[in-house]
Chain A
Amino acid sequence: MKEAGRSVPTEPANHAQPAPSEAPQRRKPRISETPPLAPPPPNLADYEAIIGKSQLDELRFLASTLRGKTVKMVNSTALGGGVAEMLNRLVPLLGELEVKTGWEVITGGNDFFEVTKAFHNALHGGEYTLTQEARDVFMLHTEQNRQRMSFDEDFIVIHDPQPAGLVASRNRDSNRWVWRCHIDLSNPNSDVWNFLRPMVERYDSAIFSSPAFARRLAIPQALFYPCIDPLSEKNKELDERCIQEVCDNFGVDRSRPIVTQISRFDRLKDPVGVVRACKMAKKYVDFQLVLAGGSASDDPEGAVVLREVMEAADEDPDIIILDLPPWSALEINALQRASTIIIQKSLKEGFGLTVTEGLWKGKPTIASAVGGIPAQVIDKLTGVLVHSVEGCAYQIRYLLTHPDFGLQLGRNGREHVKENFLMTTNVRRWLLLLLRILSEA
């Protein structure tokens, strides 16, 4: 029996139900209950097949001018989150280019991380009253980390606000400091920002992910777009058998069009709006909708949103809702690659790396014109921008009935990512920035 319009909970592989005879019956999918072992990171040479020899040579030349220089990256967590994921790739690649790069993580008690979590939310515009106690906790742990760590490298790169105060250790003549801000500072709580700003302005340079996320500062501000790694589990090429296996596992019928939104069950991602758009479009075109994401099991609000989505789906057998564990990168990759169209109908968004992932896979993408999405989706050229449920519904109909246009969007979208949003582009940006700072020193 199909589990129509229902969340499909994942089940450990060793407890999987036997496969029903007639595929694609939806059933409890086999997925590991623990994270799989991480594959070894790729080497620089592995990227040649993607960006070409000439661009790899350009990276090597840039790095040669920095050979012998040392870099230290500092952030607040070694595991989980986009920054750690990015550093896991960036640090070995810079090392392979003979720019010796280390990575250290600050420490702190629960009190420190409670304060920095509150700062994080306040810098995103949330209500917050900055107390003297919070300032003291922040400064105390900053001081402890300063005492514990050394900063002898040529370049010190501090990621995000948590370790920003380490800049007090800088010796203006001996090395250069860069603050890499990964969060949106467009509308920060003024107390928290005024507390952090004097620290930030002691750096040589800041880096933001979008011009819209930046603040006016007395130091130069570079623009580094977030990026994806084309060789990661989530983005690497997959063989047909693997894609088919994942689709069979989740009961997705590849003989019919597939429209997919990958995102956690969060109101800001508007999954209910996606269901509504699909119901409108399905009056005219046949397809399945896949809504795949996570956070429903450990996030109370996520569980509420998941229920709302299931209610909106109303047992429709063509709406497949997948609540996936965080280590489902390969499954997400396969679902994206099996899709005819990718949707990201967010109401608010940071940069929207799920959009980048869809574009990289050459999929025609329908996305809301919010946050960093318009930098990726240039309307009608690299994808389609929408502003409403109705607009989304229309574009699904249009793209499903005009596959040539979708093909062209997909081709352009992939090139856009290749040029601007790949890990190798970011390695080049880092090398250029360090060179620039060095030449100005």
Chain B
Amino acid sequence: MNPVTDATTRAASAPFEFKSAAHLLFIEREQASTLVEFLEALRTCPEGSIFQHTFRTLEEHHFIKEGFSNDFAHWAYTDLNLVGLGERLASVDVREFTSLSSLRSRLIHTVEDFMGQNPNVHERRAENPFYFCSSKTVVLPTQLTASDLAEFIEGLKQVSVHSIHYHFIEARLRRHFESNDFSIWLERKLKLTRPASRLNHIDIYTSTLEGVRRKIVQILEDATD
């Protein structure tokens, strides 16, 4: 059997259904003008706010590949002028978290740690307050499904970047598993273990979402060579 044909057209044990997500933004009660207020708001805000200002902001700014990681880091850097805190918050990688509560804990710990080391900045007033928002998600079907690798690659090329974000980045919160929908399907339904693993090494912080899409397609096309 031709190995190229095999990898490309081998039927999956179950099809992949491409979905997408739309998000509605709400303004929450919490806002902060100092680090003390910020820490308190981080503790009390709804989980939808943690999601909005980390996972979702990546999607809203999917075309930027430099200098932007999450809204908390951006605010600490630009409005509080606390570069060190901004850097630490920016280094929080959403892919390490399979629940919003654990992500919230890490953010709180990062701010507490910084405040412990910098007691003189607790009451520094920000140039602009941080307004906590939250997002509510609606999952949307698409008409695209894939029964083999060739169809999967074609689907990846056609779906919106919102679909890429839903399957590749948000998925870990839904699955409570440090991976993504694409890798899980490739591994379980097509037995493509190596490319499935390679997808998890794509750096989402130094690529645009279109760049992420291109890298995924490239890895899968390489797998057919």
Contacts and interface: CB of A to CB of B under 8 A. Distances in A.
Contacts of A54: 20, 142, 158-160, 163
Contacts of B60: 419-420
Contact of A381 (B67, B128, B136): B67
A411 B158 CA distance: 22
- Tell me the dominant secondary structure on chain A's binding face: helix
A224 B133 CA distance: 12
A424 to B, nearest CB: 12
A379 interface: yes
Interface in A345-382: 369, 374, 378-382
A325 interface: no
A205 to B, nearest CB: 9
Residue of B60, B62, B64 with most partner-chain A CB within 10 A: B64
A340 interface: no
Interface in A403-428: 411-412, 415-416, 419-420, 428
A216 interface: yes
Interface in A155-178: none
B27 A223 contact: yes
Given A55-B160, A419-B60, A381 B68 contact: yes
Interface residues on A, range: 35 or more
Given A412-B64, A435-B138, A58 B131 contact: no
Interface residues of B, number: 35
A432 interface: yes
Contacts of A419: 60-63
Given A378-B61, A416-B61, A58 B140 contact: yes
A221 interface: yes
Nearest to B127: A369
Contact of A214 (B27, B74, B162): B27
Contacts of A52: 160
B142 A436 contact: no
A429 interface: yes
A432 B22 contact: yes
Contacts of B158: 54
B29 A216 contact: yes
Contact of A222 (B25, B66, B68): B25
A24 interface: no
B141 interface: yes
Interface string A5-42: 00000000000000000000000000000000000000
A178 to B, nearest CB: 13
Contacts of B143: 57
A223 B25 contact: yes
Nearest to A432: B24
Contacts of A428: 22
A224 B66 CA distance: 26
Interface in A180-227: 208, 211-212, 214, 216, 220-224
Interface string B22-42: 111111010100000000000
A61 interface: yes
Residue of A54, A55, A61, A62 with most partner-chain B CB within 10 A: A54
Given A52-B160, A62-B138, A433 B133 contact: no
Contact of B24 (A58, A382, A433): A433
B44 interface: no
B78 interface: yes
Contact of A223 (B26, B62, B162): B26
A379 B26 contact: no
A233 B118 CA distance: 53
Contacts of A369: 127
B62 A221 contact: no
A429 B62 contact: no
Nearest to A212: B131
A54 B155 CA distance: 11
Interface in B42-78: 60-64, 66-68, 74, 78
Interface string B130-158: 01010010101111000000000000001
A369 to B, nearest CB: 8
Contacts of A374: 128
Contacts of A433: 24
Contacts of A208: 27
B22 A223 contact: no
B169 to A, nearest CB: 15
A260 B22 CA distance: 36
A433 to B, nearest CB: 6
A436 B138 CA distance: 9
Interface string B111-141: 0000000000000000111010100101011
Contacts of A220: 26
Given A57-B143, A223-B26, A374-B128, A432 B133 contact: no
A5 to B, nearest CB: 36
17 contacts: A58-B162, A211-B131, A212-B129, A212-B131, A214-B27, A221-B26, A222-B26, A222-B27, A411-B63, A412-B63, A419-B63, A429-B25, A432-B22, A432-B23, A432-B24, A433-B24, A436-B138
Interface of B: 20, 22-27, 29, 31, 60-64, 66-68, 74, 78, 127-129, 131, 133, 136, 138, 140-143, 158-160, 162-163
Interface of A: 52, 54-55, 57-58, 61-62, 208, 211-212, 214, 216, 220-224, 369, 374, 378-382, 411-412, 415-416, 419-420, 428-429, 432-433, 435-436
* A-B CB proximity, top 3 nearest: A211-B131, A415-B63, A54-B160
Given A58-B142, A412-B63, A436-B136, 10 more contacts: A52-B160, A54-B160, A58-B22, A58-B162, A61-B141, A214-B27, A222-B26, A223-B133, A379-B78, A411-B63
